[in-house]
C-alpha cells in the first residue's frame, strides 16, 4: 500500500468524483421513471404525431402497459444495476491503480507466462486485470456482496446492512431474469423472489417503491465503499456518515412498503 498522503488524497478525489457521477445518474434514472410513468398515464389524451395510425399504435401500447408500465419498470431496474455495477468496478479499479506496488498484490499471482503478459500492461490496465480476476473468483456472490467484493479482498471493510443487501440481491436477480427472459418471470426468479409472482411467463411488475428501495440501497452501498477508502486515506468527511444513515433509513422505509414488504406483511398477518 502506498504511504504518500498526497497520492492518497488524489485517489480519494477520483473515487469521490466517480461516486458523485453515479449518484447523479441514479437521480436522473428515478426522474426518468416518474416522468415516463406520468406520460404513459396521460398519453392516450395526446396525439403528437401527424400519422393517425402511428398515434393509434402508441395509444394501444400505452393502454396495454397500464396500470404498472412493466416495460419502463424493467428498463429502469436494468439501468440501476448497470450504474451500480460499473461505478463499483471503477471505484475498485481507481483504488488498486493508486497503490504503489500493484505487483505485490496476492491477486497478481499467476503462471510465469501470464505474469509476463501482466507486467507489459499499463498500471491502470494492471488494476483492471486484478479487479477482473477477483470478480471471476467470486462468481457466486450477488447483490451488494458482489459490488463490494473487490474492496473486501483488498482488506478494506465497507459497511453492509441486511436490508440493503436483500434489496440489492433482489435487484441483481431481477436484472438476470429481465436480461434472459425479455421481462417475464422464470423459475429462478420465482425461487429467489416469490413476491413477484408464482407463474413462469407472467410479466414482472415493479412499483415506484421498489425502484426507490433499489436506488437508496445502491447509494448506501456505494457510500460504504467510498467511506472505507476515506478511512484508508485518513480523510475526515463529516457528511459521509450522516448521508449513509439517511440512505439506509430511506431504504428501510421503502423496503417495508415495497412489493416484498407487502407480501411479507400479508404472510405474517
Q: What are the tens digits of pLDDT across the range 218-263? A: 999 999 999 999 999 999 899 999 999 999 999 999 999 999 999 9
Q: Give 25's DSSP letter.
A: H
CA-to-CA dists, residue 120 to 1, 125, 160, 194, 232, angstroms: 21, 9, 37, 49, 29
**What pLDDT, on a 0 to 100 scale, did the predictor assign at position 62?**
74
Q: What average pLDDT does this structure show over 54-77?
A: 79
Q: Is the predicted pLDDT of residue 265 greater than 50, yes or no?
A: yes
**What pLDDT, on a 0 to 100 scale, did the predictor assign at position 2?**
45
Q: Is the predicted pLDDT of residue 128 greater than 60, yes or no?
A: yes
Confidence of residue 1 (pLDDT cuts 50, 70, 90): very low
Question: Mean pLDDT in the chain?
Answer: 87
**What pLDDT, on a 0 to 100 scale, did the predictor assign at position 161?**
95
**What pLDDT, on a 0 to 100 scale, did the predictor assign at position 52?**
65
**What pLDDT, on a 0 to 100 scale, did the predictor assign at position 47?**
55
pLDDT, greater one: 202 or 16: 16
**What pLDDT, on a 0 to 100 scale, did the predictor assign at position 60?**
79
CA-to-CA dists, residue 43 to 74, 96, 241, angstroms: 20, 49, 43
Query: 11 with 233: CB under 8 angstroms?
Result: yes
User: Which set of grid coordinates corresponds to residue 261?
Assistant: 414488504
Flag the least confident range among 45-54, 94-103, 162-171, 191-200.
45-54
CA-to-CA dists, residue 246 to 27, 194, 223, 252, 255, angstroms: 15, 29, 11, 10, 14
pTM of the model: 0.88
Q: Is the predicted pLDDT of residue 137 greater than 90, yes or no?
A: no
**What pLDDT, on a 0 to 100 scale, did the predictor assign at position 9?**
92
Amino acid at each position: 500500500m502506498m504511504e504518500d498522503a498526497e497520492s492518497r488524497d488524489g485517489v480519494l478525489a477520483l473515487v469521490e468524483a466517480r461516486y458523485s457521477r453515479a449518484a447523479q445518474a441514479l437521480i436522473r434514472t428515478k426522474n426518468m421513471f416518474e416522468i415516463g410513468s406520468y406520460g404513459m398515464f396521460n398519453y392516450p389524451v395526446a396525439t403528437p404525431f401527424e400519422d393517425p395510425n402511428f398515434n393509434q399504435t402508441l395509444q394501444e401500447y400505452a393502454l396495454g402497459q397500464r396500470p404498472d408500465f412493466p416495460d419502463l419498470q424493467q428498463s429502469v431496474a436494468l439501468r440501476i444495476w448497470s450504474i451500480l455495477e460499473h461505478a463499483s468496478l471503477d471505484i475498485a479499479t481507481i483504488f488498486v491503480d493508486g497503490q504503489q506496488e500493484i505487483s505485490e498484490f496476492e491477486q497478481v499471482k499467476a503462471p510465469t507466462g501470464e505474469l509476463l503478459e501482466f507486467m507489459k500492461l499499463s498500471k491502470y490496465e494492471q488494476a483492471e486485470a486484478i479487479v477482473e480476476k477477483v470478480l471471476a473468483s467470486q462468481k457466486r456472490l450477488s447483490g451488494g456482496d458482489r459490488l463490494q467484493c473487490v474492496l473486501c479482498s483488498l482488506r478494506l471493510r465497507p459497511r453492509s446492512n441486511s436490508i440493503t443487501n436483500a434489496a440489492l440481491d433482489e435487484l441483481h436477480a431481477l436484472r438476470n431474469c429481465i436480461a434472459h427472459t425479455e421481462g417475464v418471470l422464470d423459475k429462478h426468479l420465482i425461487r429467489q423472489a416469490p413476491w413477484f409472482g408464482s407463474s413462469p411467463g407472467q410479466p414482472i411488475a415493479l412499483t415506484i417503491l421498489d425502484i426507490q428501495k433499489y436506488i437508496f440501497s445502491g447509494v448506501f452501498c456505494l457510500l460504504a465503499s467510498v467511506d472505507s477508502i476515506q478511512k484508508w486515506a485518513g480523510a475526515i468527511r463529516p457528511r459521509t456518515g450522516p448521508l449513509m444513515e439517511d440512505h439506509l433509513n430511506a431504504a428501510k422505509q421503502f423496503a417495508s412498503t415495497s412489493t416484498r414488504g407487502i407480501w411479507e406483511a400479508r404472510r405474517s398477518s
